[in-house]
Amino acid sequence: MAGAQEPFDVDDGERRVMAPTVIQPSADSARKAGRERLGVIALAVGVVGVIAVYLALNASGGSADRDRGLLPYQALAHTLPAPDQRMHAAIRQGMLAAEGVRARSGMWPDIPALTANGVSPFTGADGYDWSFLQQGAIVNYFGRPKDASQPAWLLEIQEPEPGMPPDPAPSDDEHHRLGDGTVLHVYVWTHRFGGQVPVTFVRQPQNAGWTQVFTTAPDPVFYNRR
């Protein structure tokens, strides 16, 4: 081998010791090692560049991923099948009528009252049987499909607990402000196995297989399910 020194014996006076062999790298080996180091550096730079681009795209408003920032149990309405998009829009529209009754009377209308006033989709004309359920400050409008293969729907409305400070959140999909300043937390949920869902008050839908549907992604600063 080029550059190698032959081993030789050294007599230390008591025993013979084999001196270590010293290998001097050849010029070809040095050049090869240099090329390998450059390759590793180039690969590292490429990885860092890809990560930087990914972070920049996710930090910018121009990201093509509109679902960025959603929790695992959340979805945007535009990603749902067309019939589900229409049902979501109908629930949102009907919710405004229910809020109007709440603002005037201080009470949430039940299903017969909404049906008498022709408030869709609570009339049942869309193939759903609706139920009104309430526990404390939380109201559920529960829509169970007559066709068991269709999804179930849930409109969840949370009023502020007594003694809570005013909610500073701006009005959006989740926050609705009544004329008296009361801020409601409003959520629309869907469950794909509608025929298997029992009609009962749902306290924590996200723990029971429900998916929360938003028109636009919620602001994480003000998102606050109780």
The angle subtended at Cα 196 by Cα 190 and Cα 202, nearest 5°, is 55
Decide: helix, strand or coil at residue 32.
helix
CA–CA separation, 175 and 182 (whole Å): 10
The angle subtended at Cα 28 by Cα 25 and Cα 34, nearest 5°, is 85
Residue-level pLDDT, tens digit, the chain, 226 residues:
445 444 445 455 554 545 455 455 565 655 665 666 655 565 554 444 434 433 444 444 444 344 567 899 999 999 999 999 999 999 999 999 999 999 999 999 999 999 999 999 999 888 999 999 999 999 999 999 999 999 999 999 999 988 888 778 888 888 898 888 889 999 999 999 999 999 999 999 999 999 999 998 876 655 555 5
CA–CA separation, 73 and 211 (whole Å): 5
CA–CA separation, 74 and 178 (whole Å): 25
- The per-residue pLDDT for 224 is 56
- The per-residue pLDDT for 172 is 84
Q: Which two tokens stand for residue 73?
A: 């149990």
Beta-carbon contacts of residue 154 (< 8 Å; ≥ 6 apart) = 140, 141, 142, 143, 187, 188, 189, 190, 191, 202, 205, 210
pTM: 0.69
Q: What sign results for the dihedral spanned by CA atoms 129, 208, 69, 219? A: positive
Decide: helix, strand or coil at residue 141.
strand
| Residue 146 · residue 190 · CB < 8 Å | no
Beta-carbon contacts of residue 88 (< 8 Å; ≥ 6 apart) = 77, 80, 188, 190, 213, 215
CA–CA separation, 197 and 147 (whole Å): 12
> How far from 138 is each of 61, 76, 96, 204, CA to CA, in Å?
34, 23, 17, 11
Count of helices and strands (H, E) across the chain = 3, 9
- The per-residue pLDDT for 27 is 59
